[in-house]
Amino acid sequence: MKKYLLGVAAIGAASVLVLSGCTGSTGDGGGDASPIVVGSVNALSGAAAFPEASQAAKAVFDAVNAEGGINGHLIDYKILDDKGDPAAAAAAAREVVSADNAVALVGSASLLECEINGDYYVQQDIVSIPGVGVDPVCFNNPNISPANVGPFLDMTLSLLYGSEVLGLDNICAMLEIAGSTLPAYQAAIDKWTEITGKKLIYVDDTVPYGAADYTPYIVALKEHGCQAVTVNPVEPDSIGQLKAAQAQGLTDVTWLLLTSVYSENFSKAITDAGAGIYVPAEFYPFTDAESPETKDWRTLMEANNIPLTSFSQGGFLAATYFVQVVKGIKGDITRESVAKALREMDPIDNPMVGTPYVFGPGDTHNSNTAGFPVKLLSGTNQWELAADDWLTIPE
């Protein structure tokens, strides 16, 4: 297989659970031994819920607390539900930031909370490390820096793998657009064109979430002679699209999908994967059960009965990064000192990611720019590694 941008990621000494050794204080800057308040705003209920990120972050913080906390200060982790509702997301952020006086938000996972609360976080000068950043503001706000790649660069990576590694031509796109995400997805496609000089032959950006019947969209793909299709679906939608493709006889197309479908439930639900489903996993593939890269995360998740998913990987990493940075703060751990430490931090290497994490002082944040390709082939119902190394977007 032709390699393209599959370089060896710089893997340093990974900090997985930092359990001791920093100066701490209260969340409001006091010098006593009261807790350090940390919050998160999440889609815990509603149409698209993914609670694993905050559960994983809590497991990290519980492990830190079990060892005495950070210099004697326990972490009081507040997990709030935005219910997939803008008003609830705004209320949750104000509760944890203003009422609870959190020093930072860590491990959040939501479809919309960055867009709803980004300006408020800037106003309050509180920083957020989402475990799963989804909407465009998560990556274009000076106070937010997610642990994950995000759906937009994930699409760039998916297209790069399809065109440059698999050598596919005649690539089409079906885009499910929520809110104001169309420009971000278009920018992801334009980034791929800039790198490769290639263009998609057909784009449909009218595909609805949760459609009862995807047949008309599949028929259009057939009419345009699509050899491969990139889609940004949630898991149930992708299953529906693949079933519609099978019913219409579109069984020779390659599907270039996103991390949103990378799960064991998805693989078990697929009976016909066409010419193959390929995903650039945002973190080291968790379905590679014996991998040393995910051992510490897997051990902690299994001990706490937390599902093994990309979402729980993101929450785990967000909390891990936060703890490593906070342990280096000299003096009181406050909202101000945490923000300063993250903006001045050195990059952190971790074997679960292909590029080092850094918050930094910029107005935009997307330090995770690598994916590890995995594939699902017809008749296998099992994800397999599709590369020997990370696929990275060139700077």
Q: Which pLDDT belongs to residue 30?
A: 40
Burial classification of residue 202, based on how many CB atoms lie within 10 Å of its CB (0-12 exposed, 13-18 middle, 19 or more buried): middle
Coil, strand or helix: which one is 146? Answer: coil
The parent domain of residue 375 ranges over: 151-281+371-392
Q: Return d(Cα 145, Cα 75) in angstroms, integer.
A: 21
Read off the pLDDT of each residue in 346-365 and give the average, rounded to a whole number: 96
- pLDDT exceeding 70 applies to what percent of the chain? 92
Dihedral angle computed from the Cα positions of residues 199, 200, 204 and 205, in that order, rounded to the nearest 10 degrees: -50
CA 306-328-332 angle, to 5 degrees, is 100
Q: pLDDT, tens digit, for every residue of 169-194? A: 999 999 998 878 999 999 999 999 99
> Both 127 and 276 in a single domain?
no
Q: Which pLDDT belongs to residue 32?
A: 66
**CA–CA distances in Å: residue 42 to residues 37, 85, 318, 374:** 17, 11, 14, 27
Examine the pLDDT at 12 and tell me if it is beyond 50: no
Question: Is 176 part of a structural domain of the chain?
Answer: yes
> Both 126 and 243 in a single domain?
no
Q: Worst-scoring range by mean pLDDT, 28-37, 103-112, 283-292?
A: 28-37
> Both 82 and 215 in a single domain?
no
Which tokens in the block code for residue 88? 């609830």
Q: Which pLDDT belongs to residue 22?
A: 35
Question: Is 13 part of a structural domain of the chain?
Answer: no
Q: Worst-scoring range by mean pLDDT, 15-24, 35-44, 215-224, 291-300?
A: 15-24
Q: How high does pLDDT run on average in the chain?
A: 91
Beta pairing class for 171-176 and 228-231: parallel
> CB neighbours of 318 closer than 8 A, spacing ≥ 6?
53, 57, 106, 107, 129, 130, 131, 146, 147
Q: Which pLDDT belongs to residue 249?
A: 94
Q: At what angle do helices 215-223 and 235-247 cross, to 10 degrees?
A: 60
CA 61-63-64 angle, to 5 degrees, is 65
Q: Return d(Cα 115, Cα 127) in angstroms, integer.
A: 14
> Both 246 and 260 in a single domain?
yes
> Both 163 and 273 in a single domain?
yes
H helix and E strand count, the chain? 11, 12
> Both 303 and 233 in a single domain?
no
> Both 52 and 139 in a single domain?
yes
- Residue 1: pLDDT band (50, 70, 90) is very low
**CA–CA distances in Å: residue 16 to residues 289, 296, 350:** 18, 7, 8
Report the b/e string of 132-156 with b at 16+ CB within 10 A.
bbbbbbbbbbbbbbbbbbbbbbbbb
Q: Return d(Cα 339, Cα 358) in angstroms, integer.
A: 13
**CA–CA distances in Å: residue 271 to residues 259, 279, 283:** 19, 17, 26
Question: Is 160 part of a structural domain of the chain?
Answer: yes
> Both 387 and 254 in a single domain?
yes
Question: Is 211 part of a structural domain of the chain?
Answer: yes
Question: Is 22 part of a structural domain of the chain?
Answer: no
Q: Give DSSP secondary structure letters for 303-338.
A: HTT---SHHHHHHHHHHHHHHHHHTT--S--BHHHH
Question: Is 7 part of a structural domain of the chain?
Answer: no
Q: Return d(Cα 134, Cα 148) in angstroms, integer.
A: 9
> Both 267 and 386 in a single domain?
yes
Report the number of distinct structural domains present in the chain.
Answer: 2
- CATH number of the domain enclosing 218: 3.40.50.2300
Q: What is the DSSP letter of 395?
A: -
What count of other Cβ atoms lies within 10 Å of the Cβ of residue 339? 17
> Both 213 and 311 in a single domain?
no
> Both 243 and 385 in a single domain?
yes
> Both 48 and 94 in a single domain?
yes
Q: pLDDT, tens digit, for every residue of 234-286? A: 899 999 999 999 999 999 999 999 999 999 999 999 989 999 999 999 999 99
Question: Is 158 part of a structural domain of the chain?
Answer: yes
Q: Return d(Cα 66, Cα 157) in angstroms, integer.
A: 39
Read off the pLDDT of each residue in 306-325 and give the average, rounded to a whole number: 97
Report the b/e string of 39-58 with b at 16+ CB within 10 A.
bbbbbbeeebbbbbbbbbbb
Question: Is 197 part of a structural domain of the chain?
Answer: yes
Q: Worst-scoring range by mean pLDDT, 9-23, 126-140, 208-222?
A: 9-23
Q: Is the dihedral of CA 159, 162, 163, 165 positive or negative?
A: positive
Read off the pLDDT of each residue in 127-135 and give the average, rounded to a whole number: 97
pTM, rounded to two decimals: 0.90
State how far Cα 386 lies from the chain centre: 20
Examine the pLDDT at 305 and tell me if it is beyond 70: yes
Is 300 or 233 the better-scoring residue by pLDDT?
300
